[in-house]
Chain A
Amino acid sequence: MAEVGVRRFARLSFVHFGVLPLLLVILVIGFGVAEPRFLSGQNVFNVSRQATYLTVVSMAQMLALLTGGFDLSVGVILAMTSVVSAKAMASVVAGSPNAVGLAITLGIMAGLGAGTSMGIANGLGVAVLNVSPFMMTLAMASIGFGLALFMTGGVPVYGMPTQFGATLGFGRLLGVPAPVYVTVVVIFGMYVLLNWTRMGRYFYAIGGNIKASALSGISTRSYLFMAYVLCGFLASLGGVMLTARLETGEANIGAAMPLRSIAACVIGGVSLRGGTGRVGSVVLAAVFIEWFENGMNLVRIQSYLQMVVLGVLLIFAVVMDEVRHRYVAKLREV
């Protein structure tokens, strides 16, 4: 009897939460046994800081996915933000070495501006010109990467005030890393946006059925546009955080981000067809991916092989999602 109950519970939680709980259990037990340092306080602290960047970018990606598209340019949005903000800070500091606060503020603004304008371009392309999200963001990835390389000549940008990295990158408050605070605010904001505002509701509706949304009197264009703008803004915020952590502006910091952020969303149960997905699950999935990579580092799996593992994991998640859909269909028949 108990066994039946357990199986039923496992099945229902699979239908409800997807494959993620299972993966987390395997992760914690597997790596925990193989490498004791994996669960140590110091390591958890490191991972929690490290995971903030992917989490914020996954939140950005989630917006695009919910509306039935995706954003392959999140990586170069990070890169553009990094390069522009570093250059801006460096030039302000070079001009007036005492205006550190001003330099940091202006730098962050410039970076966010650059990243968000890429989101605006994506939004215009997808919502107004009806370019498919795939082509639009793929092309934007090329444009952005090219611009970032052009601006830096391919070399990292130095000369930012050290206080920038010291606070936003390595700083901590009450023992918690600074980027974690930013990330918590982003997560909370996303939760409110998606569950408690009209815009969030419309994102889900447009991703689920854009025709029905239009016939319900929703201006699908403006909301699609907004989804890509917000996506650009959040990715850009991730770029600022990562620049602080690296203490340089670099053109190739986000190369793996499109894949990793889409992986986090899909593992977190966001449908690639749009219309479904929860903030909490995506956050968990992002943390999972980061922790998983950390575990592989600890047991000394080569970084090249890690890419292979991540790819396999992504396919596994998509297949399990398909299985889950079939399960749901079966439950419907009863």
Chain B
Amino acid sequence: MALIDAQVGGASERGAGAPPLLRLRALSKWFPGVQALDHVDFDLLPGEVHVLFGENGAGKSTLINIIAGALKPDEGEVRLRGAPTHFRSVYDARRQGISAVFQEFSLVPDMTVEENLFLGAELTTGPFLNKPALHLRAEETLARLGFALSPRARVNRLSRAEQQMVEIAKALRSNLSILILDEPTAALTERETERLFQLIRDCKRQGAGIIYITHRMNEIHRIGDRITVLRDGRRVATLQMTDASDEKLVELMTGRTIEAFFPTIDHHPGEELLAVEGLTAGTLVRDVSLTVCAGEIVGLAGLVGSGKSEVGRACFGVEPVSAGRIRFRGTPVPKPTPRRMLDAGLVYVPPDRRTEGLVVERNVRENIALPTLPLSQFSGRFLLRRRSERGICARLAERLRITPPRIEQGVSFFSGGNQQKVVLAKGLTRNPVLFVMDEPTMGIDVGAKTEVYNFMKELVEREGAGILLISSDLPEILHLTHRTYVMYLGRVRAELKGAEITEQAVLSHFFEARTAVAGG
């Protein structure tokens, strides 16, 4: 199981003298159905950037939520500057110098930048807000950080990157000893990223400790001092950055070698299934052309907001198409709708299974059968064929190895991985030829991920299906796809084939053209 000796954090040479700012001992946390953290040890020294690394669902978010005071641990000890501490709330943690910048912003969209900056810590004179002082302080803070933002701008008018800056400014506005950054560069341009790294170096110099979550290898090496790898709620290792090679990190993260984690999928492209020409859809997608053939996995990569999700949605008929042509198996589809596309053999797997994939109140059987109830296996003239339905759903549950295989149980009783399998099973009640999968492994554990990958392999190799894989998970794109389109601001920036699909190549198309070469 343990691939290498886990080195206990406190004994690192760097901080041998200095006592840790924060020390977590044997922290455990349970959620309904899962143990999110299992006796995790973690410590943070003053003046270091400690990277947290792991898959989605490995426990990173839970860990930083506990440190930020948003969640309470079920077991274990938190020591802040040596003293045992319990954070009663985010506010309490913040008062003790811990600030967090989460991926989901904690901004009130209808308020201005300055109102947001001082939310919960408003300056007052007597019972009244001291608005001039607040404005001054906001200007000061933004100037100190070098953010070109107007304090009076309304947050909902800002771009995602600008909102991110507000969020960071909010975290840095007060005396700070611990700063938590959760994928802070996800929405930033190269230049903004540089600025952020400069800020992080400033914070380090002032003795703050920084907990940094990222999936990007080059960032880890650029600003990390130490790295802790989590997997399935357990700490697998804490390493000095100098000891952490890319290969080693991936192996630690997944618990297996890259080759074992991602199956090798044969590429035998056949009939052209989906052809999109000059597609303009919704508010994001501009003039996109792509093709997917039978027997191949085609990737669609890009940042949040690049329009990659919307391309999939437009092909399935849930994003309004304003221009362009969609052909499915050679037949033009002038007005796609979910019903029409399902009937034609296209299955769409939405990115968020709880909001779009499943009816969580209902059981597995009803969820699996939902898209195909009109078929004769499921309904007669007037009534449902429940016996036949039960049989078909039970077989699918078995095929996807949904555990426990109780199809009459509500889907909310299942783990994320098994819920995702239910979503995948929904598409299989008839024999589809093309799958459009949007983030099919989001928030599921490593074991379930491998199963999903193997399922994809089976679909492509044995059933000759085609898959359009829309993913923000770079390793997935790199190791599973045969061809990949990279999107930027609603347009297809590049098409990469086979060996051309490297991290460097894909990432270089994620950002503005001029600064793209800078990475690594």
Query: Interface of A with B (CB < 8 Å)?
Result: 192, 196-198, 201-202, 204-205, 207-209, 211-219, 271, 273, 275-276, 329, 332-333
- Chain A hits for B360, CB < 8 A: 208-209
With A198-B379, A217-B342: A205-B386 Cβ-Cβ less than 8 Å: no
Query: Of B337, B358, B371, which one neighbours A209 at CB under 8 angstroms?
Result: B358
Q: Which residues of A contact B386 (CB under 8 A)?
A: 196
Query: What chain A residues lie within 8 Å of B247 (beta carbons)?
Result: none
B361 touches A275 (CB 8 A): yes
Q: Taking the nearest CB of chain B, how far is it from the CB of A33, in angstroms?
A: 39
- Contact call B371/A276, Cβ cutoff below 8 A: no
Determine which residue in A197, A205, A219 has the highest number of CB atoms from chain B within 10 A of its CB, and name it.
A205
For the complex, give the distance between the alpha carbons of A275 and B410 in Å. 12
How many pairs, one residue from A and one from B, have CB atoms within 8 Å of each other in the complex? 87
How far does the Cβ of A193 sit from chain B's closest Cβ, in whole Å? 10
User: Assuming A196-B386, A208-B362, A211-B355, is B370 touching A216 (CB within 8 A)?
Assistant: yes
Specify which chain A residues have a CB less than 8 angstroms from the CB of B262 in the assembled complex. none
Q: Which residues of A lie under 8 Å from residue B413 when comparing CB positions?
A: 332
In this complex, which of A192, A273, A332 has the most chain B Cβ atoms within 10 angstroms of its Cβ? A332
6 contacts between A and B (CB under 8 A): A201-B373, A205-B370, A209-B361, A215-B348, A329-B32, A333-B31
A219's contact among B32, B339, B350, B383, by CB below 8 Å, is which? B339
Tell me which residues across on chain B come within 8 A of A213, comparing CB atoms: 359, 370
Q: How far is the CB of B489 from chain A (nearest CB, A)?
A: 26
Residue pair B373, A198 in contact (C-beta under 8 Å)? yes
A198 contacts across to B, CB distance below 8 A: 373-374, 379, 384
**Residue among A207, A217, A275 with max Cβ neighbours from chain B (10 Å):** A217
Task: Closest B residue to A210 by CB, please name it.
Answer: B359
Chain A residue nearest to B356 (CB atoms) is A211
How many Å lie between the Cα of A276 and that of B412 in the bound state? 13
Interfacial chain B residues near A208, Cβ < 8 Å = 359-362
The answer to whether A216 touches B338, judged by C-beta atoms less than 8 angstroms apart, is yes
Distance, CA A329 to CA B370, complexed state (A): 25
Are A197's CB and B384's CB within 8 A?
yes
Contact in complex: B357, A212 (CB < 8 Å): yes
Instruction: Given A208-B362, A329-B32, decide whether A217 and B382 contact each other with a Cβ distance below 8 A.
Output: no
Of all chain B residues, the one with the shortest Cβ separation from A275 is B361
Closest to B359 in A: A208
* Residues from chain B with Cβ under 8 Å of A215 in the complex: 316, 318, 338, 348, 350, 356-357
B359 touches A205 (CB 8 A): yes
B426 within 8 A of A: yes
CA distance A202 to B339 in the complex (A): 14
Binary contact track B368-381/A, C-beta < 8 Å → 1, others 0: 01110110000100
Residue of A nearest to B423 (CB): A212
Within B5-40, which residues are at the interface with A (CB < 8 Å)? Answer: 30-33
A332–B339 touching, CB < 8 Å: no
User: Are A332 and B361 within 8 A (Cβ)?
Assistant: no
Whether the pair B361, A276 counts as a contact (CB closer than 8 A) is: yes
With a CB–CB cut-off of 8 A, which chain B residues contact A202? 373
Q: Using Cβ atoms and an 8 Å threshold, which residues of chain A touch B355? A: 209, 211-212
